Structure 1
Amino acid sequence: MEHEQCEFGMVGLGVMGSNFLMNVADSGFTAVGYDKDPKKAQALNDASGGKIDGVTTIDEFLSRLATPRKIMMLVPAGSIVDAVIDELMPHLEPGDILIDGGNSYFKDTDRRTEKLEKENLRYIGIGVSGGEEGARHGPSLMPGGSKEAYEIVRPMMEAAAAKVNGEPCVTYLGSKSAGHFVKMVHNGIEYGIMQLTAEVYDFMKRGMKLSNDDIQRLFAEWNEGELQSFLIEITANIFKQPDDKGDGLLVDKILDKAKQKGTGKWTSQVAMDLGIPIPTIDVSVTMRFLSALKEERVEACKDLDLGDLDVAEDRLNTEKELEHALYFAIAITYAQGLALLEAASEEFDYGLNLEDVARIWRGGCIIRATFLENIMQAYRNRPDLPNLILDESLAKIMKERHAATRKVVQLGVEQGIPVPAMASSLTYFDAYRSQRLPSNLTQAQRDYFGAHTYERTDEPGIFHTEWNQS
C-alpha cells in the first residue's frame, strides 16, 4: 500500500515524543513516528486516532519521509542520542536535517554538530520546555545550530510552539549549541525559583505557623498580581490536592528529598568556568544535594535541636514582606541567568539576543511569568545592558523591595529556618552595588603567601611586595 511522504518524523515515542508529534500533526503537517518498542508505536497509532503511523523499523521510517528528511529525536540525553545518530547516519542523505529535542549538554551538541557537518548533514539542537502538556499543546522552543536548516523547519516549529499575543514562543537563537545552552540556563533559573518558593513555604509553615489553607490562599493571591507565573500557579494548586491514600493534603506526605537530572549542576559548573556569579542558582543546586541527606538530617534534628521560635511580627505585614522579598529574589535569579547567557554568547560566539530569549520564555515553558514582559522591555530599551538589575525601572523596584528581603532573611536566621537562596539573592545585590569590596585584602593575602602580585588604585602596573613576616 502506498503511503504519502511525510513532512516530519520523530524518533522516540515516549510521552514527550508522541505528544510533540501529535502537536505537529494537529498543526497541519504530515508526520510519522519511530520507536523500536512496538507498544509505543501502537500507542501513538491509538492516541492519534490513526492520523499518525508509528513504525518499528528504521527502513520503513526513513522511506516514509520526504526529502530533505526532517527528523527530530526526543530521547534521553547522553549516550542514547549518540546511539540514535549512529543508527540513522548510514541511511541519511546530504541535506537531511536532524534535530535533538532533549536536554543535551551543550558541548555534546557542538561535538555532534561537527560530526554531522562532515557528512553534509544539518543539525539543530533545540531546547523544549513545558513538560508533556507543553509538548502536546504548545511548548517554548529554543533552537540553535544551522540557521539554514532552521528556516526549513521554522513553519512547523512556529505552528507547534506556545503563543503569547499571537506570537510563537520560538525563534532562532544562534549558532552551534546556542539552543541547548539557553535551555540549560532556563533550567538553572527554574532551580532558583523553585528553591525560593520552597523557602517561602517553609517560612510560612514553620515560622509563621500558617495552615495549608492560608498558604494556598497567599500563593493564589500572589498569582493574581505581579508574581503571576506558572510556578506560583502550580504551587497554589499543590496546596489543594488531597492525599488519595489518607487524610490531609498530598504535599504533607511527600518525602523531602529533591532530585535532579543535572541541568542545574551544569549551569553552575559552566558559570564557574566563565567566571560569572550565579549564587542563587548555585545554592539551589546545593540545597537539592543537602535535602538528599535525609537520614543525617533526622539525626541532626535530635542532636542540634534549638527549640521552637515563633515569628513575633505582625502577620499581615510579614505576608506583604514575603511577597516583596520573593519578587526581589526571583528578579535577581533571572538577572544571574541572563548575565550568564550574555557571557556565554560572547565566549562561544552564539550571537544571542536576550530580548528574544525573554520573549520565547513568556509562554509554554516552566519559568513563564508576567515578569518576562519587564525583561523584554529592559533589553529593548538597552540591548547592551550588562545586568538586568541596572535597568532603570527594575533598579527602582529593587531599591523599594530590598528592605522587605532583609527582614525575611533576618527573621529566617533568627529562627533557624534556612533561607539560603533568599540570602544569596540579597548578598548578590549588595555585592554588585558595592563600589568597593574587601577583595583588596584577598589580593594582599595571595601576594603574601604565594607572590601572586596585585594591582594598585593609584598607579597602573602589576606589583609584588616582600611582606614583613616578623
Structure 2
Amino acid sequence: MTKAQIGLIGLGTMGAALALNIAEKGFPIAVWNRTTAVTRRFQAEAGELADRVIPTESLADLVAAIAPPRAIILMVPAGQPVDDQITALAPLLDPGDLLVDAGNANFHDTNRRTASDLPMRFLGMGVSGGEEGARHGPAIMGGGARADWDRIAPIMQAIAARAEDGTPCATWMGDAGAGHFVKTVHNGIEYADMQMIAEIYGLMRDGLGMDASGIGETFALWNEGPLKSYLIEISATVSRASDPLTGAPMLDVILDAAGQKGTGRWTAVEAQHLAAPIPVIEAAVMARNVSARLDERKAGEARFGPAPQPLELATAELEAALIAGKILCYAQGFAMIEAAGRNFGWQLDLPGIARVWRAGCIIRSAMLNDMAAALAENPARNLVLAPAFAERLQASIPALRQVVAQGVLHGHALPALASGLSWFDMMRTGRGTANMIQAQRDFFGAHGFDRLDGRDTHHGPWGH
C-alpha cells in the first residue's frame, strides 16, 4: 500500500478543505477524525481524489500509514485539545516526526510547546483564507525551527495561494510562535478592516439613505480602484444579495451582533504588552463586544433617542476616508509586528509578510504590493512615513476628517475610523500634550520628567 506523504487530524470544515487541497496537488494524505463515521464519509465524498486519501480508524493506524519521518497536521480547536492530541500521539511517534499545529493557536501556547521537552518536533503554522482558501489556496505563515518548515515547505507552497507574480503565499516567519503571532495580527487587521467597511456601510445606509443594492453597486465600483480587495469584493456581493425566504435584501434580515473567536482580542491584548499602539484594531474589537449587547443598546435608544441622522457626504469622500483608514490600520499592524520582532528576538521579514498576505488570506488587497515595496525600502520606518503612502494620506486624510466630523455631528458611531484619525493626528504632532501628564505624575508620585532645555532639574516646584 502506498504510504502517505503527510497526515492530518481533524476533518472539520477547515481540516477537510485542507486535506482535499493537499490531495488535489498530488500528495497522498492519511486522515483521522475522532468520529470514525466522519472519516469514512470524507473519503467516500472525496470523488476523484479518493485514491490519494487514506482513511484511518485509530491514531496508530494514522501513524503507520505515513512514510517516515512523519509530518502530521493538527486541525483541532486551539488550547487544551491541541495538548491532548500531542499527549495521545507522543507514544506513537519517533523523535524525528513532526507535528504541525495549523489551528488558530495563541502564539504563547506555541512558544510553550516549542520550548517544552516534546518527544517529537513541533511547528506552529497560521493558515488564513477560510474554507475557500483552505480548499483552493490559503496564505500560510510557518513558525518554528527553519529546518522543520523546510521539510513541509514543498507541500505548503504547492497548496498555497499564488500572488499575481506567481509567488506562493507560504513562507517561514520565524522561530517558535512567530507564525501564529503573524496570523494573530493578520486577524486583528481583519477585524479592523471589516469594522471600517461596516462603518462606511452605516453612513451610506443611515446617513445617505441608500438601499442595500445601491450600497453594493458602490462597493463594486470601489473594488475597481485603490480599495480593490477581498473584503470590499464580498461587501459588494453580500450587499446585493436577496433573502431567499422573504425576498428582502439579505443584509436587512441579519441581526447586527457580530461574532468573534478571540484572535482580534489577542491582538489587542498583546499590543498592550508590546507598547505597540493599534487603536483601529482595539476599536474594532470594542465594537464587536458592544454589538453583542443588544438589550443595552435598545435601552440606550429608548432613553436617548435614535442616534444616526441624515447627513450630506459624497460617496467619493467615503471612498477616500476608507482608503486613509485602511493605510492607518495596516501601518499599525506592521508596526506591531516590528515591535514583536524586537521583543521576542524574531527575525521577522516585514516585506515578506506583506507579500504572503497578497493572496489567499482574508485581508488580501491591491495595496499590499506597494506596502511590501515600502517595507523593503525601510522595515523600521512606519508605513505612514513611506513616501508612497504619505502622499496617499495627504490626499485622503481631508476626506477622513470630514467623514468623521460629519458622522460624529450627526450621531453616527465611527469608532475605528475616528480612532485611526486621532492616531494620525498624534503621529503628526511634534509637540503634544504628554508634558501635562508628566507634570501630574511628578506632582503625585515624584516620577520626574525630562526637560526640553536638557537641564538637570527633573522635578517641579510643587511645594509639597
TM-score normalised to the size of structure 2? 0.97
SS in 2 for 1:163: coil
Quick one: distance in 2 between partners of 1:152 and 1:182? 21
8 Å Cα contact 1:35-1:54 kept in structure 2 = no
Alignment of 1:431 with 2:431, yes or no, is: no
The Cα of 1:284 is off from its aligned counterpart by 0.5
Q: SS at 1:260's partner residue? A: coil
Q: Which residue of 2 aligns with 1:63?
A: 64
- Superposed, which structure 2 residues align to 1:248-287 within 5 Å? 248-287=248-287
- SS of 2:173's equivalent? coil
Q: Which residue is equivalent to 2:460?
A: 465
Following TM superposition, by how much is the alpha carbon of 1:121 offset from its aligned partner in structure 2, in angstroms? 2.2
Question: 2:96 is paired with a residue of what secondary structure?
Answer: coil
Deviation at 1:131, TM superposition (A): 0.6
The answer as to whether partners of 2:220 and 2:233 remain within 8 angstroms in 1 is yes
Counterpart of 1:141 in structure 2 is 140
The answer to whether the Cα contact below 8 Å between 2:264 and 2:285 also exists between their aligned partners in 1 is yes
Cα distance between partner residues in 1 of 2:139 and 2:456: 49
Structure 1 residues 123 and 304: CA distance shift in structure 2, 3 A: same
Shift in CA distance, 157/219, structure 1 to aligned 2, threshold 3 Å: same
- Alignment match, 2:85: 84
Distance verdict in 2 for CA 1:307–1:166, change over 3 Å: closer
Alignment gaps of 5+ in structure 1: none
Deviation at 1:21, TM superposition (A): 1.1
Q: Does 1:371 align with 2:367?
A: yes
Distance 2:358 2:289 in 1: 30
Contact kept, 8 Å, 2:107 with 2:177, in 1: the verdict is: yes
Task: For residue 96 of structure 1, report the CA deviation from its aligned partner.
Answer: 0.7
Secondary structure of 1:32 counterpart: strand
Q: Identify the match of residue 21 of structure 1 among 15, 19, 43.
A: 19
Following the alignment from structure 1 to structure 2, what is the Cα–Cα distance between the partners of residues 211 and 252?
10
Please tell me whether residue 343 in structure 1 is matched to residue 339 in structure 2.
yes
Offset, 1:451: 1.3
The 1:48/1:406 distance shift into structure 2, 3 A limit, reads same
Q: Deviations over 1:254-311 (max 9, x none)?
A: 1111111111111011100111110000010001111111011111111101677321
Structure 1 runs (4+) deviating above 4 angstroms are: none
1:248 and 1:41 mapped to 2: Cα distance?
39
CA–CA distance in structure 1, aligned partners of residues 68 and 362 of structure 2: 34
Which residue is equivalent to 2:153?
154
Aligned residue for 2:411?
A: 416
Structure 1 residue aligned with 2:195? 195
Structure 2 unmatched ranges of 5 or more: none
Return the match for 2:397 from 402, 409, 418. Answer: 402
Aligned 1:154-173 pairs, distance under 5 A: 154-164=153-163, 165-173=165-173
Provide Cα deviations, 1:149-183, integer angstroms capped at 9, x if missing partner: 11111100000100112110011111110000000
**Residue 7 of structure 2 aligns to a residue in which SS?**
strand
**2:54–2:65: 8 Å Cα contact kept in structure 1?**
no
1:400 partner amino acid? A
Residues 41, 53 of structure 1: 8 Å contact kept = no
The C-alpha deviation readout for 1:353-377, integer Å capped at 9, x for no partner, is 1000000000000000001011011
Q: Residue in 1 aligned with 2:112?
A: 111
Alignment RMSD, CA only?
1.3
Over the matched positions of the two proteins, sequence identity in percent amounts to 41
- Greater Cα shift, 87-96 or 182-191: 87-96
Q: 1:230 to 1:462 in 2, by over 3 A?
A: farther
- Asked if the contact 2:308–2:411 (Cα under 8 Å) also holds between the matched residues in 1, the reply is no
Structure 1 counterpart of 2:351, one-letter code: E
Question: Do the aligned residues in 2 keep the contact of 1:44 with 1:53 (CA within 8 Å)?
Answer: no
Moved more, 334-343 or 204-213: 204-213
- The one-letter code matched in structure 2 to 1:152 is R
Amino acid at match of 2:132: E
Aligned residues of 2:206 and 2:309 also touching (Cα < 8 A): no
In the TM superposition, what is the alpha-carbon distance from 1:461 to its structure 2 partner? Answer: 5.1
1:416-442: CA deviation from partner (whole Å, max 9, x where unpaired)? 011111111111111011101100000
Q: Partners of 1:128 and 1:185 in 2: how far apart?
A: 12
Who is 1:358 aligned against?
354
Asked if 1:328 is matched to 2:320, the reply is: no
Count of matched residue positions in the alignment of Structure 1 and Structure 2: 460
Alpha carbons of structure 1 residues 239 and 79: separation in structure 2 relative to 1, 3 Å:
same
Q: Could you tell me which amino acid in structure 2 is paired with residue 198 of structure 1? A: A
